[in-house]
Amino acid sequence: MRTTQQKILNNSGYANYREDLIDSAGTRIALSIYESKKSDPCVVFLPGTMTHPLLYDEFLSRIAARGFNVVGVHSVSHGKSPREKELYTVSGLLLNARDAVTFCLERYGGTVGVLGSSQGGLLAGLLAATDHRLRAAFAQNIILPSLPETISVTVFPRFVASVYGPVRLFMRAAFSLFPRVEMPLSGYLDIERITADKEIQQWVITDPIGLTAYPFYFMKSLFFADTSPITDGSITCPVVVIASEGDRLFSKEYQSLAFEKIVAPKKEILWFDEDCHLIMVEDESVRRVTGPIADKLAHYLK
């Protein structure tokens, strides 16, 4: 486990950890690399909203120790990646993930899978539908913005789902007119539902390399992302959705609905009896979920 000082400085506690920069999406992005043996499978890890792989260091270290090379992606202008692009999109983040897959294949060869958390789960699903080099895709939560039920994930009142179409038209217009205006995390997500752990809340808010807002330009690309490849049969590899029964952000009902929409050669949902969203961050949950997730990774990648 990392010390508080290591967390504040965004240092990893894993012995075989290093970082690298690669070219991607017209800029440079950072990679957090947790190395095992070169012959071991590689897992590309995609973090959640506004965060970076080092928020998940304990979990990623434990996965690597079980025989996986883990490559965490600091998406464009996120985490330790240079702030060379003021405006970016979901398509750019997806290209970052694809370039990380290329990095893994060139450096380690063999088998590559993708594992995404929350917003990274959406990216993992999209990557599985567009990059057929993947052996399998694992998504901790899956979100389909086109579904009216997606309102349940946000801070917006539930009744908005009944007028979701007009609301989306208004949002599209606002995002287009004011692309550089920034929406804080609290503008669309409730941090209390993300985590009730006050230490993690403070850590997220004060993280020197974390983000606390997204430009409307990005929000438009997120809320109106074309997720049809996840549901139209474009996915050619197995998909495993990882979910918490007591997730305060993604309800069991919503996760079940989104899971049913996925079309893949094989799919399954791995439920955990946890009462939090950040099961790959909160210490007690990390200890309980790492083993079963690592076993599932091994089943499909080894």
pLDDT in tens, 46-89: 999 999 999 999 999 999 999 999 999 999 999 999 999 999 99
H-helix or E-strand containing 296?
helix 283-301
Q: What is the mean pLDDT of residues 16-32?
A: 97
CA pair distance 87, 224, nearest whole angstrom: 16
> In the chain, pLDDT over 90 holds for what percent of residues?
92
Distances, alpha carbon 201 to alpha carbons 78, 195, 269, 301, in Å: 18, 7, 28, 34
Give the pLDDT score at 37.
Answer: 94
The secondary structure of residue 158, as a DSSP letter, is G
Mean pLDDT value across the chain: 95
CA distance 89 to 46: 15
Q: How far apart are CA 89 and CA 6, in angstroms?
A: 30
Q: Is residue 6 pLDDT above 90, yes or no? A: no
Burial class (CB in 10 A: 0-12, 13-18, 19+), 118: buried
pLDDT tops 80 at residue 3:
no
What CATH class has 4-147+228-301?
alpha beta
Mean pLDDT of the 239-268 span: 97
Tokens 């890890």, residue located: 45
Per-residue model confidence (pLDDT) at position 5:
75
pLDDT at 4: 74
Q: CA-CA distance, 295 to 91, in Å (whole number)?
A: 31
Question: What is d(CA 66, CA 187) in angstroms, rounded to the nearest whole number?
Answer: 38
Calculate mean pLDDT across residues 253-267: 97
Q: Cβ distance 84 to 28 under 8 Å?
A: yes
Q: 3-state DSSP call for residue 101? A: helix
Flag whether pLDDT at 240 surpasses 90: yes
Query: Is a pLDDT exceeding 80 seen at residue 9?
Result: no
Mean pLDDT value of segment 163-178: 93
pLDDT confidence band for 8 (50 / 70 / 90): confident
Structure tokens at 193: 């539902």
pLDDT above 80 for 133: yes
Helix, strand, or coil (residue 282): coil
Please tell me the predicted confidence (pLDDT) of residue 1: 64
Q: With bands split at pLDDT 50, 70 and 90, how would you rate the model's confidence at 111?
A: very high
Question: Which pLDDT value is given to residue 7?
Answer: 80
Can you tell me whether residue 70 is helix, strand or coil? strand
Are 1 and 283 contacting, i.e. CB atoms less than 8 angstroms apart? Answer: yes
d(C-alpha 134, C-alpha 120), whole Å: 16
Residue linked to tokens 């995609």: 46
Burial of residue 102 (CB within 10 Å: 0-12, 13-18, 19+) is middle
Name the band, by pLDDT with cuts 50, 70 and 90, for residue 208.
very high
Residue 121: which residues within 8 A CB-CB, separation 6 or more?
46, 139, 140, 141, 142, 143, 241
Cβ neighbors of 74 (< 8 A, separation 6 or more) are 29, 30, 31, 32, 52, 53, 80, 81
Mode of pairing for the β-strands spanning 17-24 and 27-34: antiparallel
Comparing CA positions, the residue from 10, 55, 62, 74 lying closest to residue 34 is 62
Residue type, 28: R
